[in-house]
Amino acid sequence: MKAYLRTFGCRANQYDTEAARAMIEAAGGTIVATPEEADVALFNSCAVTAAAEADLRQEVRGAARERARLRGEGRTVVMGCASARDDGTIAALPGVSDVIAGADMESLAIALGIDPAFAQARAGTQTGSRALLRIQDGCDEHCTFCATTLARGANRSRPADEIVREASGLAVEHPEIVITGIHIGTYGADCGSSLGELLERMVNEIPHVRFRLTSVEASEVDARLGELLVSDPRRVAPHLHAPLQSGSDRVLRRMGRHWYTSASYRAAAARIASRPDVFALGADVITGFPGETASDHAETVALVRDLPFTYLHVFPYSARPGTAALRMDGDVPAAVSRERAAELREIGDSKAAAHSARREGGLADVVVVGDGDKREGLTEDYLSVTLADASAPRRSRFNAKLSCQPSTSRLTAVR
């Protein structure tokens, strides 16, 4: 079997695609570069925004057209979050033979005609420069805007021994392992452990590799995890991506984000980011949530300006089927939502530029990512940098000094 793989969405989805790749190859299949070459085109879908689902439908239709033109045959399988919420729209797309809910690898194996015994296969080397490691699935919270919880179900932690085994194999080829999941801050809540305990074990048992966390709620960074984030930047990246979503307590309540307020977020984020000299602090922010007023937006702007963010991810609100937010009043015009997002992005860009300027002349721990002309370096504090030595091998890691060329504001890593 020849299979084409395409991923939409977050790093948890990317990990699931890597698991599908490992399963297909373990069963004797081959991964090909285009859907036209494939017997099966596998699309891993995202349900976060309407745009992500629209992109999926467009690509599935395009793949079916090209296969029909060139081969006259071939089928499509769709997995992931949008699949778990499918109302028949995905199943009705041309060429789609199977719709797999979430990341059910056994069901995927059956759909692909593979022995389900191969569903547990995991690759020691992934396709990315940095490895992805999903430690849990699902989420126990019920944010009123989020379809992912509806698609992924409740929090389910993977066994620690299984995680450590997989991480040990990935560390042989990958200089950085990115810890991912749907809500990783709740890891261990269902088995008497914690994210800090798991990360500490991996640092102690797996030498050399650098670990990086994906999104973690600021309120979930306990003393153990907080110490790991600042104590040894060569082992745990000094980087916290802590979703904010809004700086207005009124909007946070409407969003169902009951576990923090703007004040508690401010205190937690400032405390964590203030300890080391080098630290990356990022956040997600949603603009135009139902009922968001100009005053609510101003509170978000004020909080974002005050905190030491080094980057922001800003998204206009996207209504998702089945979520509680759909039943709320106070729709914000799309133009207003986009205008608010543009204002916050401008602040985020300014903060990112200031962080980059502060790092000029400093030292960095650089991992080489990307291929060919897209090869670049990634520092411990999440800066993308140009490589002075363009021949540096992909997946290599080295200490460098950061310099800024007069012709560009982008930092360059010099050995």
Mind listing the pLDDT tens digit for each residue in 343-363? 999 999 999 999 999 999 999
* Model confidence pLDDT, tens digit, residues 201-242: 999 999 999 999 999 999 999 999 999 999 999 999 999 999
pLDDT of residue 374: 87
For a pLDDT cut of 90, what percent of the chain falls above it? 93
Beta-bridge partners for 42: 5, 77
pLDDT of residue 154: 94
Which range is least confidently modeled, 46-55, 68-77, 96-105, 292-301? Answer: 68-77
Assess whether pLDDT exceeds 90 at residue 150: no
- Confirm or reject CATH 2.40.50 for domain 363-414, answering yes or no: yes
CATH number listed for the domain at residues 131-358: 3.80.30.20
Assess whether pLDDT exceeds 90 at residue 297: yes
Give the angle subtended at the CA of 189 by the CAs of 311 and 116, to the nearest 5°.
90
pLDDT of residue 50: 92
| pLDDT grade for 101, boundaries at 50, 70 and 90 | very high
Residue 25 phi/psi, 5° resolution? Answer: -70, -35
For a pLDDT cut of 70, what percent of the chain falls above it? 100
| pLDDT grade for 406, boundaries at 50, 70 and 90 | confident
* Model confidence pLDDT, tens digit, residues 317-345: 999 999 999 999 999 999 999 999 999 99
pLDDT of residue 216: 98
Could you say which of 3.40.50.740, 3.40.50.1100, 2.70.98.90, 3.40.50.12160 is the CATH number of the domain covering 2-120?
3.40.50.12160
Beta-bridge partners for 313: 284
Cα separation, 43 vs 114, in Å, equals: 17
CB 108, CB 100: distance < 8 Å: yes
Going from N- to C-terminal start, the domains of the chain cover 2-120, 131-358, 363-414
pLDDT of residue 61: 95
Across the range 382-392, mean pLDDT stands at 94
| pLDDT grade for 378, boundaries at 50, 70 and 90 | very high
| pLDDT grade for 4, boundaries at 50, 70 and 90 | very high
Assess whether pLDDT exceeds 80 at residue 147: yes
Residue 222 phi/psi, 5° resolution? Answer: -80, 180
Across the range 245-259, mean pLDDT stands at 98
Residue type, 406: P
Question: Among 308, 390, 298, which Cα is nearest to 344's?
Answer: 298
As given in the structure block, the two tokens for residue 360 are 């000029």
pLDDT of residue 371: 87
Assess whether pLDDT exceeds 70 at residue 407: no
| pLDDT grade for 275, boundaries at 50, 70 and 90 | confident
